[in-house]
Structure 1
Amino acid sequence: MPPLATAVNDWFRSTARDLPWRRPEFTAWGTLVSEFMLQQTPVNRVIPHLEAWLERWPTPADLAAVPPGEAVRAWATLGYPRRALWLHQAAQQITERHGGIVPADVADLIALSGIGDYTSRAVAVFAYGERHPVVDTNTRRVIARAVHGRADAAPPAKRDLADMEALLPTDDAEARVFNAGMMELGALVCVARTPRCDACPIADLCAWRAAGYPEYDGPRTPVQKKFAGSDRQVRGLIMRELRAAHGAVTDAEIATLWTDEVQLARALTGLLADGLAVSTASGYVLP
């Protein structure tokens, strides 16, 4: 293997965190659920929700058999609840198209609801041992620094997969370890603001370090707006009310959740359009 892959794999094998989805007995369905939950949500928040979810719905067919509102309710405070609807839809598709077995083929995976380039390859690699490049934000940052000598990665693009493919070991098992190791390295050592170069297993191979840590001057990914006071916060308040209710939530009850009537109406309209809330004769309920 190339020196960079050897160093990353040796480091990962000796220091990898013990996470549920890395254990040998973990199922492909569990891997898929974990990847949905890990999108924009920290690991420590995901683990308890993941364990409860898989205890309740250990197979795609188990989830597909319940109304989508149950998935939304169980999603609780993970944020971006549309992921729960997409996961429920994916469970139905897996049950109907693939006999209840999560497919291993990237093309089949990417055809499921809510799954893109990253999740399809992550499931194929980590659940089935297939050889594909898996690229997340952490991986992109490590490649930008170690290979291209830049302080940060440019906004996501198709070339990211080609960059990772060029580094990927040819052996399937080593490629799987390398994919996980690069993500771990970016999450724990080569972090965005204060990289721990003294603890980095590829410090001697890093082009950014060799160049004297130049500042990044390229295009940047747009910064997400603050949560406080945003439509996301108002949507979250409405969703919390819907999840907690035993019946329909009335307009009068929703009106108490936020003082800005225009913003409140916009948030509710968005939830209805996204299928996260349903209007009934007596008020609003989960789908």
Structure 2
Amino acid sequence: MTPPGTMVPSATQPGATDLAGLHHALDGWFAESARELPWRSPDCSPWGILVSEVMLQQTPVVRVLPVWEDWMQRWPTPAHLAKEPAGEAVRHWGRLGYPRRALRLHAAAVAIQEQHGGAVPGTHHELLSLPGVGDYTAAAVAAFAYGQRETVVDTNIRRVHARLVSGHALPAQSLTAAEMRLAEALLPHDTSLSVRWNASVMELGAVVCTARSPKCAECPVRASCAWLAAGEPPPSYTPKGQAWHGTDRQVRGAVMAVLREADAPVPREMFEHAPADLGFAPSGVGVPLAALHRLNSAPQQLGRALDGLLRDGLAELHDGGLQLPA
């Protein structure tokens, strides 16, 4: 079997006629079956699309939707967010996880306001210059916000390409040059169709060609799927889920929950000792503090969490306590 991520021989790649058929089939399916998401609306601004792309990194749509809607009501343009302290972006990031993304979005908003007149730039090169924007996000925003022909490759797209064309259950564990070449070869030459192709393949991977329980009977291109034709061979590796309970990430999240509720610096000893042991009951942060202490984290683990948040810029020291960045 060809290892995942290896470019398949040209003889097994879709020919021009087959490729046109794939484009047509997925385009029609997407037009009828795509989820109605606010960032897909024709009225959504490039800023709204940029925010959605950052929020959707490693986070499912169901969790992103309420936070995105709140964010866009609060900060409908980059200028609105740029005027706020970075800590407010972190506060309203809520429980989406990986809160450094909120800091990067705030930094991007400041850069857009100062360097681009408040308008999200429209080229891949300019988008890459924004803080926290990498190749995928730049390509996605250029395609979905500005209708440009870009090769957009996320986890869902990689999985569809792996099964549909390469015959593998899963893509390689990290993005390869061969996968990028394959994605470029599959991209329609027509600009408008290329944008819809990116969106439709991404949608197929999200709702049908899923990692653990693909709904092959519902797939509009199952007749062309190399993985099905090969008898659904198993993956060559076992995907590793990310642990949560008992990890440093869980403790960091619990500390962040306290800081999001705090309207003043929280003394370090309140993180290290239960409020009752200190002889007082804190207001406002009592519930998340209690949740933090129920974790019974080792002092070393809590110390790593506190120091890591300070180092990452997600917390700052003021008057002997920690608070969200100003």
Contact 1:146 1:207 in 2 (8 A): yes
Contact 1:272 1:278 in 2 (8 A): yes
Residue aligning to 1:248: 265
1:211 lines up with 2:230 in the alignment: yes
Cα deviation, 1:140-183, whole Å, max 9, x if unaligned, reads: 00100110011110022233332111111111111111000001
Shift of residue 225, structure 1, vs aligned partner: 3.4
The alignment covers a number of residue pairs equal to 285
Residue aligning to 1:159: 178
Contact 1:134 1:161 in 2 (8 A): no
Matches within 5 A, 1:224-243: 224-243=241-260
Residue aligning to 1:277: 315
Aligned pair partner of 1:201 in 220, 228, 232: 220
1:126 lines up with 2:132 in the alignment: no
Contact 2:265 2:323 in 1 (8 A): yes
Identity of aligned residues (%): 52
**Which amino acid is 1:212 matched to?**
G
* Aligned mates of 1:193, 1:130 — CA distance in 2: 32
**Which amino acid is 1:239 matched to?**
M
Residue aligning to 1:110: 128
Residue aligning to 1:265: 303
Unaligned 5+ runs, structure 2: 1-18, 275-291
Contact 2:268 2:320 in 1 (8 A): no
1:13 lines up with 2:31 in the alignment: yes
Cα deviation, 1:86-122, whole Å, max 9, x if unaligned, reads: 0000001111111111011111111211111111110
Matches within 5 A, 1:2-151: 2-151=20-169
* Aligned mates of 2:154, 2:140 — CA distance in 1: 10
**Which amino acid is 2:67 matched to?**
H
* Aligned mates of 1:75, 1:202 — CA distance in 2: 37
Cα deviation, 1:263-284, whole Å, max 9, x if unaligned, reads: 0000111000000000122311
TM-score by length of 2: 0.85
* Aligned mates of 1:65, 1:87 — CA distance in 2: 13
Q: What SS does structure 2 have at the residue aligned with 1:2?
A: helix
Q: What SS does structure 2 have at the residue aligned with 1:147?
A: helix
* Aligned mates of 1:162, 1:11 — CA distance in 2: 25
* Aligned mates of 1:154, 1:116 — CA distance in 2: 20
Residue aligning to 2:6: none
Cα deviation, 1:119-138, whole Å, max 9, x if unaligned, reads: 11100000000001111111
* Aligned mates of 2:40, 2:242 — CA distance in 1: 33
**Which amino acid is 1:184 matched to?**
E
Q: What SS does structure 1 have at the residue aligned with 2:266?
A: coil
The runs of 4+ residues in structure 1 deviating greater than 4 Å are none
Change (3 A) 1:158 1:117: farther
**Structure 1 vs Structure 2 CA RMSD:** 1.3
Shift of residue 220, structure 1, vs aligned partner: 6.4
